[in-house]
Amino acid sequence: MQSNKSTIKWSQFRILLVDDEPDITWCFNIVLEDNGFVVDSFNDPLLALSSFKKGLYSLALIDIKMPKMNGFELYREIRKIDDNVKISFMSAFDIPIEDLKAVVPSLNEKAPPIIKKPVLVDDLVSSVKAGLG
């Protein structure tokens, strides 16, 4: 008997990907689309925010350190529009858990949703699937 997890159609999940590095968004976009996800990627957090619509995305993958608007600021603005979209942060830097909990109070009960860059392809896909679950 197959489990529900193996029969999930990932194409039903639209992902917002925001990272100021074009090489990263390009690579992540290819990997995620090759694994069945629908991805909208942005290198400018302000453009991503202006394009964000309530109910459009299942998950937002947001880099923390970006110019113009950091990932925590983008998170707060997205939450004002849609408090149901799931969020995973990405960073090449170590982020103290206290800093993350100050921005995302709901983390008090669960592990922080941070994808550490660089990330292996399989780990990226697994993290995205876990973030959607």
pLDDT tens-digit profile of 48-60? 999 999 999 999 9
Q: Considering the chain, what percentage of its residues have pLDDT values greater than 70? A: 87
Cβ(15)–Cβ(38) below 8 Å: yes
- pLDDT confidence tier of residue 114, bands split at 50, 70 and 90: confident
Tally the residues of the chain. 133
Q: Using the predicted structure, report yes or no on whether residue 3 has a pLDDT greater than 50.
A: no
Domains of the chain: which residue ranges? 6-132
Regarding the domain with residue range 6-132, which homologous superfamily does it belong to in the CATH classification? Response regulator (3.40.50.2300)
Task: Count the neighbouring beta carbons within 10 Å of the beta carbon of residue 128.
Answer: 26
| Tokens 């193996």 belong to residue | 6
Alpha helices in 13-120 (DSSP H): 22-34, 45-51, 71-81, 97-103
